């Protein structure tokens, strides 16, 4: 237990937003997630709806490659990032990462204005590198500043805040492209100004001492990756939780990367409808994440995880059933889409998939943070990021294979929903305590 435990009893998760130990950190990670999604969504929408090809690859292929490119650095460099996060003071590291973001967004602005799309994919990879550095610091910061009882609430705020940032990022990215589809001046201004704001907020993050200042850095990425994965595998609960979190990233990435193509080829919609669907998913995850503190009774409640996975599968299958073939009526505005028969069902399915995904993921993050030793926590988080990236890249590769097999996007949704059920069975067979705790949770009054 840390020095903040005495503050827990009479507060809730939202009170953290008024405290210096949390608020500047929250703003920094919020703005980072926002900027990532303005950039990625803006780039994918430009490529998809302007029919741009890069190196002979069509927009559908490029959308999946974009997801893989952003996550590849997590696999390559997370081990090094985890060491840095344990060895050095965390607020200084976060400020350094924000300076890197400003530099990368300056390059992105130049590339957008000059229509240098190959350079933009390079920037996307480098943004992945920047996020790789930030990830271990981000999740290891929380246990140093929050009491154990606050971890569910703190993680819920970070997760929901991330997806609220995604909502605004998707909206702003899409609208910025729509306002200025030729030169992307509006998009460029947003990217650079947000990066600067992120740096300014990082300057208010309180000093957070290094947990292993004596650590000798190893720069052999492969060797360090093996060592860091070993830290995670040492505790079965942590390792199973990491695999569960990684599946969450696989599923979320696999689903959301298909949304532009789903909108264009199945729903007969445009960029605005794409944004609406992605926003619906992000709203769902935000709702599910915030519900976790209430549903868990402010405990780390792994019994919520099976509930989350069940909901994900059910509503993904219903999304496939809702519109399995192309809709004959084209829509170009949000109003036209939501008033078209069947659209509300699609939106509700997507929101509920997101909500159950939030309920599924938040307890897993909290379990990892609460059970990892403090001196190894950043490296355990780095191991989590390595597996996350491996799963996300695998999701993109599998999606490309399914597209090459002429599978429709709704059929891909059915495939991913079925895979989710299979993975859930494997996880709960390997660690039955999830199901046991879920049964106990179902019998317990929610007001405990």
Q: Which segments within 160-307 are labelled E, that is strand?
A: none
Considering only residues 223 and 241, tell me which one the structure prediction assigns the higher pLDDT: 241
Residue 1: the pLDDT is: 38
Q: Compute the average pLDDT of residues 311-319.
A: 95
Superfamily of domain 18-201+222-443: MFS general substrate transporter like domains (1.20.1250.20)
pLDDT at 3 over 50: no
Task: Please state, in angstroms and as integers, the Cα–Cα distance from residue 448 to each residue in 143, 291, 298, 304, 445, following that order.
Answer: 24, 15, 9, 15, 6
Q: Examine the pLDDT at 179 and tell me if it is beyond 90.
A: no
Residues 428/422, Cβ–Cβ less than 8 Å: no
Give the DSSP letter of residue 331. -
Residue 75 has what pLDDT?
A: 79
Task: Evaluate if residue 351 carries a pLDDT over 70.
Answer: yes
Confidence (pLDDT) at 432: 87
**Residue in this structure with the two tokens 């897993």, named with its chain if needed:** 364
Please tell me the distance from the alpha carbon of residue 51 to that of residue 203, in angstroms, as a whole number: 41
If one counts every other C-beta atom within 10 angstroms of the C-beta of residue 338, the result is 14
Specify the pLDDT at position 445.
Answer: 59
List phi, psi (to 5°) of 379: -75, -30
- Residues 6 or more apart whose CB falls under 8 angstroms from that of 234 comprise none
Residue 102: in which H helix or E strand, if any? helix 90-113
pLDDT at 6: 37
Can you give the residue ranges of every domain in the chain? 18-201+222-443
Report pLDDT for 326. 83
Is 8 a residue whose pLDDT tops 80?
no
Spatial contact of 314 and 360, defined as CB atoms under 8 Å apart:
no
pLDDT of 70 strictly over 90: no
Residue 319 above 90 pLDDT? yes
Asked if pLDDT for residue 23 goes beyond 70, the answer is yes
Phi, psi torsion values for 446, nearest 5 degrees: -70, -15
CB of 427 within 8 A of CB of 243?
yes
- pLDDT tens, 134-175? 888 887 888 888 877 787 778 778 877 887 787 788 778 888
Q: pLDDT class for 193, splitting at 50, 70, 90?
A: very high
**Is pLDDT of 251 > 60?**
yes
Phi, psi of 54 (to 5 degrees): -130, 125
Phi, psi of 419 (to 5 degrees): -60, -35
* Across 20-24, 32-36, 228-232, least confident range: 228-232
Residue 12's pLDDT band (cuts 50, 70, 90): low
Q: How far apart are CA 40 and CA 121, in angstroms?
A: 10
Q: From 144, 194, 145, select the one nearest 165 (Cα to Cα).
A: 194
pLDDT tens digits for range 375-434 = 777 778 878 888 988 898 888 889 889 988 989 999 999 999 999 999 999 988 888 888
pLDDT of residue 213: 83
Q: Which tokens sit at 375?
A: 């001196």
User: Residue 193's CB: how many other CB atoms inside 10 A?
Assistant: 12
- Nearest 5°: the CA angle 310, 311, 312 is 90
Please tell me the predicted confidence (pLDDT) of residue 190.
94
Q: What is 13-37 written as a DSSP string? A: GGGGGGSTTTHHHHHHHHHHHHHHH
The pLDDT score that the predictor gives to residue 171 is 79
Question: What is the per-residue pLDDT across 86-130, written as a single tens digit (0 to 9) for each?
Answer: 888 989 999 999 999 999 999 999 998 888 889 999 999 999 999
pLDDT on residue 5:
38
Residue 54's DSSP bridge partners are 57
pTM metric for this prediction? 0.74
**If you search the block for the tokens 């201004």, which residue do you land on?**
189
Q: Are 36 and 130 in contact (CB under 8 A)?
A: no
Residue 11 is predicted with a pLDDT of 55
| pLDDT number for residue 204 | 93
Residue 447 has pLDDT above 60, yes or no: no
- Across the range 274-303, mean pLDDT stands at 83
């Amino acid at each position: 237990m840390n020095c903040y435990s005495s503050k827990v009893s009479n507060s809730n998760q939202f009170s953290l937003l008024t405290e210096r130990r949390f608020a500047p950190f929250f703003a920094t990670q919020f703005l980072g997630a926002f900027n990532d999604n303005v950039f990625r969504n803006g780039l994918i929408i430009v490529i998809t709806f302007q029919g741009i090809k890069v190196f002979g690859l069509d927009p559908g292929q490029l959308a999946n490659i974009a997801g893989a490119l952003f996550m590849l650095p997590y696999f390559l460099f997370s081990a090094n990032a985890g060491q840095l996060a344990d060895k050095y003071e965390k607020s200084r590291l976060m400020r350094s990462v924000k300076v890197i973001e400003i530099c990368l967004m300056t390059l992105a602005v130049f590339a957008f204005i000059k229509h240098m799309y190959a350079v933009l994919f390079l920037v996307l990879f480098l943004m992945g590198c920047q996020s790789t550095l930030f990830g271990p610091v981000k999740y290891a910061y929380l246990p140093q500043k929050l009491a154990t009882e606050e971890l569910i609430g703190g993680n819920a705020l970070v997760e929901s805040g991330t997806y609220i940032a995604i909502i605004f990022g998707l909206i702003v990215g899409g609208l910025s492209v729509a306002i200025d589809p030729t030169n992307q001046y509006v998009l460029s201004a947003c990217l650079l100004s947000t990066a600067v704001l992120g740096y300014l907020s990082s300057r208010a993050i309180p000093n957070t001492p290094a947990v292993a200042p004596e650590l000798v850095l190893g720069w052999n990425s492969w060797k360090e990756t093996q060592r860091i994965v070993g830290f995670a595998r040492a505790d079965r609960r942590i390792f199973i939780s990491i695999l569960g979190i990684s599946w969450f990233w696989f599923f979320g990435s696999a689903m959301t990367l298909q949304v532009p193509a789903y909108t264009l080829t199945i729903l007969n919609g445009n960029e605005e409808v794409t944004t609406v669907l992605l926003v619906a998913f992000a709203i769902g995850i935000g709702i599910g994440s915030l519900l976790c503190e209430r549903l868990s009774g402010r405990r780390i409640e792994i019994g919520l995880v099976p509930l989350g996975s069940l909901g994900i599968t059910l509503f993904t299958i219903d999304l496939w059933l809702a519109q399995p073939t192309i809709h004959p009526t084209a829509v170009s505005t949000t109003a036209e889409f939501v008033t078209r028969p069947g659209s509300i069902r699609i939106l509700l399915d997507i929101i509920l998939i997101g909500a159950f995904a939030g309920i599924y993921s938040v307890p897993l993050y909290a379990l990892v943070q609460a059970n990892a030793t403090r001196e190894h926590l950043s490296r355990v988080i780095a191991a989590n990021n390595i597996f996350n990236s491996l799963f996300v890249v695998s999701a993109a590769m599998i999606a490309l294979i399914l597209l090459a097999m002429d599978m429709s996007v709704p059929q891909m949704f059915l495939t991913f929903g079925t895979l989710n059920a299979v993975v859930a069975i494997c996880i709960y067979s390997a660690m039955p305590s999830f199901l046991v705790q879920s049964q106990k949770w179902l019998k317990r009054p929610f007001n405990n």
